[in-house]
Structure 1
């Protein structure tokens, strides 16, 4: 089954403007609608309004980090099944394990490539629609 990117709304939560802009540009090129947020608090308000199909969240953010944000998303019955992919500049086993504990579905190391970003969406959207 091919993924219909044009029907997807993707959220990118990262305190880095560069990462948000890079991801947004790559995702818009394949046809996704993109919603960005600067941190977990900003994201939580936007998730309810935009109902993204998949969420990318940076681990290291001020106020509410990626682990806390992911846990809050996964603890909400409406968004429990929404795939959450952690983004981190560290490729550590501890970070990956901690991400799994809070319910993340996948883990990408920054800087990510277009193929990694698209591949993560394809694998997660296939899993949720299968």
Structure 2
């Protein structure tokens, strides 16, 4: 089943790779490059899942995630954080902000697709 996925990634080459992977998996994809744009995109059209980078201009991924969780309309959106921050304390911070999953870069494309499908219930 196709789902709407919002990619929030400020590095364009990574965003393009993520877009390709998600489209190849049969999903519709939108992409933005900063935290405030992510919140605006979610307000415009609620996605099924957000692939959310942590290091972003304007608002970081932790702030974006906790803002989504605090809003009644967006609190149920699935969030998979993608980041180069691999320390356990960073993962705990992401999960505490409300992420459903946390994957560190570099990651296996197969693992990313499996995690997305698992979160969406398509595995």
TM-score tier, shorter chain, comes to: over 0.9
Look up the match of 2:72: 77
TM-score (norm 2): 0.93
Indicate whether 1:120 and 2:115 are aligned: yes
Where do 1:46-65 residues align within 5 Å?
A: 46-65=41-60
Question: Distance in 2 between the 1:14 and 1:75 partners?
Answer: 22
Structure 1 segments (4+ residues) deviating >3 Å = none
Where do 1:35-54 residues align within 5 Å?
A: 35-54=30-49
Deviation (angstroms), 1:63: 1.4
Aligned-pair Cα RMSD in Å: 1.3
For structure 2, which runs of at least 5 residues remain unmatched after alignment? none
Question: Distance in 2 between the 1:61 and 1:45 partners?
Answer: 15
Tell me if the contact between 1:85 and 1:108 (Cα under 8 Å) persists in the aligned partners: yes
Deviation (angstroms), 1:114: 2.1
Deviation (angstroms), 1:119: 1.2
Q: Deviations over 1:32-90 (max 9, x none)?
A: 10011101111111112221100011111121000001111111111111111111112
Corresponding residue to 2:16 among 4, 7, 21: 21
